[in-house]
């Protein structure tokens, strides 16, 4: 059967084993990625080079029997497409320039898909090279997470962004709406280019009060997916409100995603309750345990498959593969899940 296992699972089918892909499965833990990355010092330029980004996407697919390939890109490509300066400092991470005026950002919305068309070309290249029974995933950073970087100019504890959400709600809501409009267009372009699953990474959903979570995460996600569906995009969506804790249940109930990714703190019971809503769940393996390896890793993999095996479940991590993770530990997990 050529229909990818990942797509069958997202459609609600129970398969003989869960499909598996890993967040950050392409990246610095792979020696071949490090060699490729060294050819282009500028990270943004690397992400927007379709030939090299496609190669990075395919590297883990050649090594491992993974069920899905996720396009190599970055969540901060959207601010750049909206007119904000974005660059990466070696050893320090992303930096963003001054936030443009709201009117300037709005003027760029219609241009986002064209500005990020190299990502579409990357997806097309990967889809051509990928076996038909393996799924291709596209993604975007979710509006609140991306806005925290746009407001604070770097990785941070997001204190300033959360304070602004309380102090200047009209401005923050207007900025979120710009990102909703830009992001659905970007994801629609990815679907057209060959992405069969779309992932919304809300990496900084943690620490939000229930009312802020509803306003900054749930409502933007709802609007974004509504806009996708109104545009005729039927591609399944996985939402990942990382760090949301018990608020994940409300997210799963209110947002029309097909899959809900869970982070490392998710309990067996929480996942089962989300499954009972008719949602596919994904994730929860601790990347630190993946790095540590050993019998404890095998035991946790077995436990996750046992506790969530009655409902559709995608095997994944609760966050991304860490750069110093031994390749053999990744092999250990994949073999445990797939039997290969």
Active site residue 186: no
How far is 322 from 27, CA to CA, in rounded Å?
A: 9
pLDDT value, residue 156: 82
E strand intervals along the chain: 68-70, 86-89, 93-96, 135-141, 197-202, 237-241, 259-262, 280-283, 313-314
pLDDT value, residue 2: 85
Domains of the chain and any CATH numbers: 5-338 (3.20.20.210)
pLDDT value, residue 1: 54
Residue in 49, 74, 186, 215 annotated catalytic = 74
pLDDT value, residue 154: 86
pLDDT value, residue 155: 84
- pTM, two decimals, is 0.97
Residue in 37, 254, 273, 300 annotated catalytic = 37
Active site residue 24: yes
Mean pLDDT value of segment 238-245: 97
How far is 268 from 279, CA to CA, in rounded Å?
A: 15
Task: Tell me the pLDDT of the chain averaged across its residues.
Answer: 97
Mean pLDDT value of segment 101-109: 98
Active site residue 106: no
Percent of the residues in the chain that have a pLDDT greater than 70, as a whole number = 100
If we measure between CA atoms, which residue out of 245, 242, 238, 234 comes closest to residue 260?
A: 238
Residue in 29, 33, 149, 186 annotated catalytic = 149
Confidence check: pLDDT of 91 > 90 = no
Beta carbons within 10 angstroms of residue 68's beta carbon = 24
CA distances, 176 to each of 156, 213, 249, 322 (Å)? 19, 13, 22, 30
Question: What are the tens digits of pLDDT across the range 26-50?
Answer: 999 999 999 999 999 999 999 999 9
Active site residue 251: no
Active site residue 37: yes
Residue in 24, 134, 158, 162 annotated catalytic = 24
Confidence check: pLDDT of 310 > 90 = no
pLDDT value, residue 311: 84
pLDDT value, residue 39: 97
pLDDT value, residue 296: 98
Mean pLDDT value of segment 185-203: 98
CA distances, 55 to each of 33, 47, 158, 218, 334 (Å)? 9, 11, 33, 34, 21
pLDDT value, residue 338: 97
Mean pLDDT value of segment 55-61: 98
What confidence tier does 10 reach under pLDDT thresholds 50, 70, 90? very high
Return the DSSP state at 217. Answer: I
If we measure between CA atoms, which residue out of 132, 117, 139, 134 comes closest to residue 193?
A: 117
3-class secondary-structure state, position 132: coil
The answer to whether 24 and 321 have CB atoms below 8 angstroms apart is yes
Residue in 8, 28, 273, 336 annotated catalytic = 28
Encoded tokens for 213: 């979570």
If we measure between CA atoms, which residue out of 313, 212, 316, 340 comes closest to residue 8?
A: 313
How far is 17 from 36, CA to CA, in rounded Å?
A: 33
Mean pLDDT value of segment 179-187: 98
Which residues, other chains included, contact 87 with Cβ-Cβ below 8 Å and sequence gap of 6+?
A: 42, 44, 94, 95
């Amino acid at each position: 059967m050529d229909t990818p296992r990942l797509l069958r699972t997202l459609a609600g089918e129970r398969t003989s084993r869960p499909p598996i892909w890993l967040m950050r499965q392409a990246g610095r833990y792979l020696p071949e990625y490090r060699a490729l990355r060294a050819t282009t010092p500028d990270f943004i330029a690397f992400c927007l080079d379709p030939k090299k980004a496609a190669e990075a996407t395919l590297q883990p697919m050649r090594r491992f029997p993974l069920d899905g390939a996720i396009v190599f890109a970055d969540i901060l490509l959207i601010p750049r497409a909206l007119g904000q300066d974005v660059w990466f400092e070696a050893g320090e991470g992303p930096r963003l320039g001054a936030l443009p005026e709201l009117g300037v950002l709005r003027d760029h919305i219609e241009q986002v898909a064209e500005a990020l068309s190299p990502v579409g070309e990357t997806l097309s290249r990967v889809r051509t090279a990928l076996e038909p029974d393996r799924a291709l995933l596209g993604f975007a950073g979710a509006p609140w997470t991306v806005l925290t970087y746009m407001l604070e100019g770097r990785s941070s504890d997001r204190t300033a962004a959360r304070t602004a959400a309380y102090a200047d709600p009209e401005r923050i809501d207007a900025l979120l709406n710009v990102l909703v409009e830009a992001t659905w267009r970007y994801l629609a372009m990815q679907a057209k280019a060959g992405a069969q699953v779309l992932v919304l990474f809300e990496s900084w959903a943690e620490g939000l009060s229930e009312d802020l979570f509803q306003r900054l995460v749930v409502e933007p996600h709802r609007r974004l997916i509504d806009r996708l569906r109104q545009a005729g995009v039927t591609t399944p969506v996985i939402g990942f409100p990382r760090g949301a804790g018990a608020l994940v249940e409300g997210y799963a109930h209110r947002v029309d995603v097909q899959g809900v990714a869970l982070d490392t703190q998710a309990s067996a019971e929480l996942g089962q309750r989300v499954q009972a809503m008719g949602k596919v769940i994904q994730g929860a393996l601790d990347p630190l345990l993946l790095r540590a390896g050993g019998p404890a890793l095998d035991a946790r993999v077995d436990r996750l498959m046992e506790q969530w095996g009655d409902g559709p479940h995608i095997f994944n991590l609760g966050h991304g593969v860490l750069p110093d993770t031994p390749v053999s530990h990744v092999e250990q997990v994949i073999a445990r899940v797939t039997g290969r």
